[in-house]
Structure 1
Amino acid sequence: MKKILSVVVLLFTLVSFTFASPALAGDASKGASLFTANCASCHMGGRNVVNPTKTLQKADLEKYEMYDLDKIKNQITMGKAAMPAFGQKLTPEQIEDVATYVLSQAEKGW
């Protein structure tokens, strides 16, 4: 009986983690207002007015290996190419909130 229970728990755990969305640690609702104030001029609706091929859509984030909370936080903090760095403008908590919002919106399809 213990073996069966152990196997069931193991299978449940494997299935839960295999099909889970990325872990979101920040507050997406706070991130939404920060995104609107700081990012929407270039990224309204998950688009990218500077480089239209690199959107915030899930498929593009995955394609460019950016579908990851830490990678998005780093890009927000450090900037890249035409994107300015926000590390001096936003707190680490605010950056986490914005990154969480971006991932949640990408998951929803913006």
Structure 2
Amino acid sequence: MNRMKQGVLTTVCMLALTAFATGSFADTKKGQKIDGKKEFEEHCAVCHKDGGNIVNPAKTLSKKDREASGVKNAKDITATMRKPGPGMTAFDKKTISDKEAKAIADYILKTFK
């Protein structure tokens, strides 16, 4: 392959990789409705399957356990996602936007009673 074709191919590959990587950061598009259940399954369900907790079984997502930990509303859930206790992964705004976090929190409040 000549150098010109090689350069074009390299450029095309780099642009494709950049587009792919950028798309993976932007989970939802502006104005798009966010599915809290889908976001929960993507980010939370691995540790909180069916509202449980594989790291600390005493701290489930049930209303009773949440409220015993001082987590009573969507704002509290989002704060916990941003700065969790030991054993839980912190989710910054780049990983889960505020709108996605709110959708997850609303889903948790609605689903795990």
1:53 maps onto 2:67 in alignment? no
Runs of 4+ in 1 over 6 A off after TM superposition: none
Q: Does residue 43 of structure 1 match 2:48? A: yes
Match 1:89 to one of 92, 95, 109? 95
The residue type equivalent to 2:47 in the other structure is C
What count of residue pairs does the alignment treat as equivalent?
Answer: 80
Q: Where does structure 1 lack aligned partners over 5 or more consecutive residues?
A: 1-26
TM-score normalized by the length of structure 1 = 0.67
Per the alignment, residue 73 of structure 2 pairs with: 68
Q: Which has the larger radius of gyration?
A: 2
Q: Between the two structures, name the one with larger relative contact order (CA 8 Å, sep ≥ 6).
A: 1
Percent identity over the alignment? Answer: 30
User: Is contact 1:77-1:95 (8 Å) kept?
Assistant: no
List runs of 5+ in structure 2 lacking aligned partners.
Answer: 1-32
Given candidates 76, 80, 89, the residue that maps to 2:85 is 80
Aligned to 1:22: none
TM-score by length of 2: 0.65
Rounded to whole Å, the distance in 2 between the matches of 1:34 and 1:79 is 18
Coordinate RMSD, CA, aligned: 1.5
Secondary structure of 1:40's match?
coil
